[in-house]
């Protein structure tokens, strides 16, 4: 929220200078592919053991979602992910990998576990915790800007200009503050949701807001929450193969659309470092502070873009 005030004062034109397409494209590829191992583990692993049945459900879910996405028309063509999850869930029921005990035990109406200051807990000041956690905001801000760049490309709009990067950062920060005060998890932008937008082509704020309202309503229906929690990991893994890949593919699209010349050593070096540092899981650890692979790859990309000349000596 503090950084949003700074951006509001000084603008966001600097974003185009420090994050040109040759940096943004590989970063977006990293955002998508850094999640690839998560999708693969969800698709294959039953606990810590490889399970062929799990993998079969994941591939079925992936295949049926692709079919829905490619061959349905009208309204069904807008919800291939939902249809894919439902179909995968039914297949998982058939092969017996769905645990329904939680659904049977859940009540129809149940309050979420709210934690309200003054009711469930009292306000206390923990400077050490603040010092340890606050720098992580730099990581989420970096990822936030990367996600907004993907949205710019998907929707053919410039959200850095309208509504403005300062407003999107403010919303991101404010939502985490509110969530923290009522006992919810920290909130941020999520690559998974961007993958859904890329697939469905539905970018309406009203649709997303309506989905949020339904999510809040369903959180009070214990049976619905339990059914969602019972969706087995291979179903999620099968869907994720497509969603995460679409994010990475949009990074490639940025490089192609902007005609990035990889005959130039400068461009090749920048993209190479970003991809290997980001996808490889490299991170910087300084005490309790950790700079994640995506944030570190972004930092390297920004530095290389600013210090490397347009052409190497051998190319002049």
Burial class (CB in 10 A: 0-12, 13-18, 19+), 188: middle
Rounded distance, CA 179 to CA 173, Å? 10
12-58 pLDDT, tens digit each: 777 777 778 898 889 888 888 888 888 999 999 888 889 899 999 99
Q: φ and ψ at 274, to 5 degrees? A: -60, -45
Q: What b-and-e string marks burial along 85-112, b requiring 16 or more CB atoms within 10 Å of the CB? A: bebbbebbeeeebbeeeebeebeeeeee
Which residues of the chain fall below pLDDT 70?
132, 135, 139, 191, 288
**pLDDT for the residue 311:** 84
- Looking at residue 224, what is its pLDDT? 87
Provide the pLDDT for residue 3.
85
Closest CA to 31 of 275, 290, 285, 235: 275
Strands (E), the chain: 45-46, 49-50, 284-286, 289-291
Could you give the CA distance from residue 181 to residue 189 in angstroms, rounded to a whole number?
Answer: 19
Q: Is the peptide bond before 163 cis (omega within 30 degrees of 0)?
A: yes
Report how far residue 302's alpha carbon sits from residue 19's, in angstroms, rounded to the nearest whole number. Answer: 6
Residue 168 tokens read as 């999107």
pTM over 0.75? The answer is no
Q: Quick one: pLDDT at residue 118?
A: 80
Distances (CA, A) of 308 to 2, 23, 226, 292: 31, 13, 53, 24
**Cα–chain-centroid distance for residue 252?**
17
Calpha distance 43→36 (Å, rounded): 11
Asked if residues 8 and 165 have their Cβ atoms less than 8 Å apart, the reply is: no
**Strand pairing partners for 285?**
290
Give the distance from CA 141 to its chain's centroid. Answer: 13
Position 113 scores a pLDDT of: 74
At 297, list the tokens: 């790859």
pLDDT at 236: 93
At 236, list the tokens: 């999620």
CA distance 73 to 90: 23
Query: What is the structure's pLDDT at 65?
Result: 92
Quote the CA–CA distance of 209 and 173 in Å, as a whole number: 18
């Amino acid at each position: 929220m503090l950084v949003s005030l700074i951006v509001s004062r000084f603008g966001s034109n600097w974003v185009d200078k420090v994050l040109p397409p040759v940096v943004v494209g590989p970063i977006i590829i990293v955002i998508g592919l850094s999640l690839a191992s998560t999708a693969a583990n969800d698709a294959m692993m039953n606990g810590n053991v490889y399970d062929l049945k799990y993998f079969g459900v994941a591939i079925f879910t992936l295949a049926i979602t692709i079919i829905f996405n490619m061959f349905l028309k009208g309204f069904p063509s807008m919800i291939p992910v939902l249809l894919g999850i439902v179909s995968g869930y039914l297949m998982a029921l058939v092969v017996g990998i769905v645990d329904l005990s939680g659904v049977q035990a859940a009540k129809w109406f149940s309050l979420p576990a709210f934690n309200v200051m003054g009711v469930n807990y009292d306000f206390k000041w923990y400077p050490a915790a603040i010092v340890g956690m606050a720098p992580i905001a730099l990581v989420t801000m970096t990822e936030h800007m990367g996600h907004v760049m993907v949205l710019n490309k998907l929707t053919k709009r410039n959200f850095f200009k309208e509504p403005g990067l300062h407003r999107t950062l403010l919303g991101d920060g404010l939502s985490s503050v509110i969530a923290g005060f009522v006992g919810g998890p920290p909130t941020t932008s999520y690559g998974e949701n961007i993958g859904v937008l890329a697939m469905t082509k539905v970018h309406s704020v009203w649709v997303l807001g309506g989905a949020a309202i339904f999510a809040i309503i369903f959180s009070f229906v214990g049976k619905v929450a339990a059914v969602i929690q019972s969706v087995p990991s291979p179903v999620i893994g099968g869907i994720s193969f497509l969603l995460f890949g679409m994010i990475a593919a949009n990074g490639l699209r940025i490089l192609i659309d902007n005609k990035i010349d990889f005959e130039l050593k400068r461009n090749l070096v920048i993209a190479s470092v970003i991809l290997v540092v980001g996808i490889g899981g490299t991170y910087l650890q300084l005490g309790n502070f950790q700079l994640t692979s995506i944030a570190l790859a972004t930092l390297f990309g920004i530095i290389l873009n600013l210090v490397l000349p347009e052409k190497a000596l051998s190319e002049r």
